[in-house]
Structure formats: C-alpha cells, structure tokens
Amino acid sequence: MKAPLLTFGGLDFLVLGLFFIAILALGFSVKLRDHSVLQFLAAGRKLTLPLFVASLVILWYGDILGTGESVATFGIGTWILFGVPYYIFAIIYALFLSDKVRKAEQISIPERLHLRYGKAVALIGAVLLFLLAVPTAHALSIGVLIQSFTGWERWFCVIIGVVVGASFLYKGGLLADARVSLLAFLMMYISFLTIAIWCLAHYPLMETISKIGDKNLLKWDGGTGVLYVISLFIVGAWTLVDPGFHQRVASAESPATSKKGLYISVAFWLFFDLLSITTAMYAIALYPNVQGLDVYPAFSQQILPSGLKALFFCGMLGTAISALVAYALISGATIGREIIARARPGMDDQAVKLWTRIGIGIACLVAIVLAISIDSIVDLWTAWAGAVIGALLIPVCAAYLRNKQLQPTAVFWSIALSFGVAIAWMVYGRTHNDAYLELFFSRTETGLKVVLANSSANAPVQEGTKISIGTLMPGLFVSALVIALGTGISKIRSHA
C-alpha cells in the first residue's frame, strides 16, 4: 500500500519556513576561532556539554525512519533489540574509554591506529570507517520525508536533501553541525512528545495497542526468541567503534564533559525511545497497512491537525539532516585527513581542509547512489555495518585499553580477512534468500541439523531454534582468531 502524501496547510508552511530559516542561519553564521584542521574537525576540542549532548543524541537518531520500520517488524521488541544494547555499550564507553579518548592527542580512530599499529593498519581502518560513516541511511530518510509531501521521485528528493543538508559544512565544520544539532535536538523531542501526547489524549494506550493483529509485536522480544536477542545485542558494540561517537568524545571541552555527557545522552536516548516506539505502536495499531519507512510520515498525515503536522515533520527532517551533516563531515575527514594526508605526509592544514571538503562531496555522492538503490534502514544496521564493526572492534578497543601492543601485521590481516569473510557471508545470505543471515537449529534422528532459516532445506523442519548470525559475529570470530594466531606466532619467534 502506497503511503498517502502529506498535505500541508498555511500554518504548516509557516512552521516549515521558520524551521528552514533557523537551521540554515545556525549553520551558515558560524565563525571559527581559527582556520586550523583541529578547529574545523573537532571545534578546537572545546565542545560544551549542551552541544556535546545534543549532537551525540541526534547522531544516533538521524535514521529516524528506521525506528518506525523496526517497530513495524519487531513491535515493542525494538527497544530490546535496538535500544538497550546501545545504552549498555555507551555506558561501557563512558566507564572505560571516554577518558582515554579525550586525553589522547589523537582526535580520530585511524590516527590512534597509526600510533599503535602503523600506517598500513591506519589506512585500512580509515577505508572501513569511511564505509561505516557514509550517511546512506540519513540520505534515505531525508529523501523519503521530502517525497512524502512533494510526491517527487525518490532519487530527486534524495539529491535535493543531501545537497541542501550538507551545504553549510563547507564553512563551519563540526561547530556548524553542533549548532544545528541543538535546534534539531529540541525539535525532535518537542515533535515526538507532541504526537505522543496527542495519541494518548485521543486513544487509550492499552486498548489501542491490544488491537494489533500480530501478537508477536506485543512481546518483549518481538517474537524472535532469546538467542535472536543475544545475537543482535552485540551489534550495540557499534558504539565502541563509531567514528562520529569518537569524534564527539575527542572534541569535548574536557574528559569530565565527555563522561558526564555520555550518561546524560543515555537518559535522553531512553526517553526518546519511549516516545518514538509508543508513536510507532499507535501507528501500526490504527493504520496496520502502512509499513516500512512510511510509518511515521503516513501516520502524521492521518492523525495530526495543521500546524502540528509540520512540527512533527520538522522534528524528523531536522534530525535526519543534522546526522547526515555529522557523518558527511566524518566521511570527508576520513578521506582528506586519514587517507590522502596519511598517504602523502607533509600536507599543510589548508590542503587537508581542501581534501576534506572534496571528501565530503565524495561521501555525499556515495550516500546518494546507495540511498537510491535501497529500501531498508534496518538492513543497513544489521548487515553492512556489522561487517565493519566485526573487523575493527578488537583492534580499536585494544588501541586504547591494552598497554602491550598487538602484533601490527596480525592486526592488519585480522581487519582485512574479517571484513572479507563478513562481506562474503552477507552476499551468500542474499543469494540464498536469507538477507538477515538466520540459521535454523533443529534436532533430527541423525543429530543436530543446521540450515539457513529461509532456505528450501528448511521446509520440512517443524521444531527448532532460529538465531540471526549476522555479519558481525563471523567477522569478529575471524578477527579474534587471526590476532590470537599472530600473537602466538610472534611469541614463539621471540623465544626462538
């Protein structure tokens, strides 16, 4: 079923116009203290607590339409599958990593990898982090939102949204992004709080939710089972290697600001998940035919009056734009500072900034191409990102937490082989009708049988256990194995 177009009245257009004027004014009015790369990419490492919290919270919800898609698939289980793991890993980050990241002279993950493992590891790590940071999900969200009220072709909406959204990065860098994030942060909470209160005032919560036909959506795990929950839990480790997360912690005005900001951010994430999941549950209860990325836009069209409709729309759009800007900057910096400048030592600040701006353009172009070709944000969360996280998780954590250095050659090959295996596994799953890489374990007369959950071989199986392996776990296993072998060989040689 095609989602209905949003129809805006005069009050809606007034709200929309004021929002765009405010967001562009904040972005383009930035005045940097100096023209250094540090100021451009890390706000001079002077990010205050309000800007830190606002930009970090927004960073995690830029692909806001993916929450609606997830609730339509997993119901209230979305909170367990895609909420709680990230709270826990963010707290782990605050406890064990935030002080070390902020106190370190390095402001990026590749820079730290270079210090601990050398240039080759830094370069391969930078390439993978670029792939992780490309704002594909955010470009897709913006495109869907623009299409929801214009009716234009998706590809055109994606291009318009990305070009306008990333335009003020050229001048202001991270500080421009952080200022826009503050407005987007306020709008995000105001808009979702407004629609949640509207729903609660007009439709009794429990009575309405109980009408949902698929009762799996009312289960704590979305009907997936404990093993499935555990298998997706580890994807929350994304927090530990996310370059945007790292950038904000490294840019905070002090270690205390970063640690305190992380705890506050977790509280805000929890509150927003309550608002966004409740809203999506209302949407699928009242309008069950609307699915996927259209859940929030279509629901607001059906339920909100003029004025509030645009307010909700701006909350979603501002969040997506702010996060797109953040990841476009990170992607551009990864190309300019971490790849080009690392491959060509001796580049001055102006050359690095030039290549960073070129990198932003490349990242936006890649995001546009990918966003036009995909339809699922949840798929990006669980598949592509998992391949990068599995390859980098151990080397990055060890670079900050381990006093004794890992063997650099082993680290390089662990990253390369881990990513290669994970991507091969992802391709295998898609070519065998199992995009979520689920395995089905069952007992037979001959013993334990393991098959792809959606394969034809699974047809006669009546009972068993399904678990999503994903791309992260195979990659993480290979990474750990290669590093362990490399460490063991190095010790044997040192004692020979």
pLDDT in tens, 442-487: 555 555 455 555 544 444 444 556 666 678 888 999 999 999 999 8
Give the pLDDT confidence score for residue 264 in this predicted structure.
Answer: 97
| Torsion sign over Cα 340, 343, 344, 346 | positive
In angstroms, rounded to a whole number, what is the distance separating the alpha carbons of residues 214 and 38? 51
Give the pLDDT confidence score for residue 223 in this predicted structure.
Answer: 87
In angstroms, rounded to a whole number, what is the distance separating the alpha carbons of residues 244 and 60? 9
pLDDT (mean) for 224-236? 81
Which single residue is written with the structure tokens 């935030």? 98
101 vs 15, 97, 165, 221, 326, CA distance in Å?
A: 40, 6, 29, 34, 19
Give the pLDDT confidence score for residue 40 in this predicted structure.
Answer: 58
pLDDT (mean) for 390-409? 92
Q: Do 40 and 356 touch, CB atoms closer than 8 A?
A: yes
Q: Does 440 score more than 50 pLDDT?
A: yes
Of 167, 192, 172, nearest to 35 (Cα)?
Answer: 172
- Tally of CA atoms within 13 A in the half-sphere of 352 that contains its CB: 21
Query: Per the structure block, which two tokens stand in for 41?
Result: 């990419």
Q: What angle do CA 371, 374, 379 make, to 5 degrees?
A: 110
Answering whether pTM is above 0.85, one says: yes
The Cβ of residue 396 has, within 10 Å, a number of other Cβ atoms equal to: 24
Give the pLDDT confidence score for residue 317 in this predicted structure.
Answer: 92
Mean pLDDT of the chain: 86
Of residues 230 and 41, more confidence is placed in: 230
